[in-house]
Amino acid sequence: MRKTLTSAVAALGLAGSVLVITEPTAAAAPSAAQSCYGGAVSYSTTVGYWPTGSAYARTSSACADINVKPNTTITVATCWKSGGCNAWRTISGGTWGVAATDVKDGTDYFLIFAASSSSGLVAD
């Protein structure tokens, strides 16, 4: 995800261990995942690609990746207006998955699906 500061805390369970948690910096809040997914838009297709017609979607500055949350498990690839497509990726229904990684802001693209019908959310 774009402009993300991710932290993980592991509990070791050792006797006498001390865990110190500090306030997050302004750069860390709000969470980048919430910021990215907060700009998600609905998609729906019965023709095997989105957006339909001759339109393209355009990446925003909210996410570094193109993320898809399909209603049912789908296999998807991302194709670029400039030409070419990335590899097929399977994303489980009801979960966020990455359709393309490290995509520049303002990049025009469309999604193609291995099935003709798909719906859900896209965050880019």
SS3 112: strand
For the chain, the average pLDDT equals 80
CA–CA separation, 32 and 7 (whole Å): 12
What pLDDT does residue 70 have?
Answer: 98
For the cut 80, the answer to whether the pLDDT of residue 19 exceeds it is: no
For the cut 80, the answer to whether the pLDDT of residue 18 exceeds it is: no
User: Residues 75, 5, 102, CA angle at the centre, nearest 5°?
Assistant: 40
Q: How many CB atoms lie within 10 A of CB 114?
A: 12
CA–CA separation, 67 and 77 (whole Å): 11
Distance from first CA to last CA of the chain, Å, rounded? Answer: 9
Q: How many CB atoms lie within 10 A of CB 41?
A: 11
Q: Which is nearest to 50 in space by CA: 23, 32, 24, 71?
A: 71
Beta bridge partners of 111: 50, 78
pTM of the entire predicted model:
0.72
Beta bridge partners of 110: 79
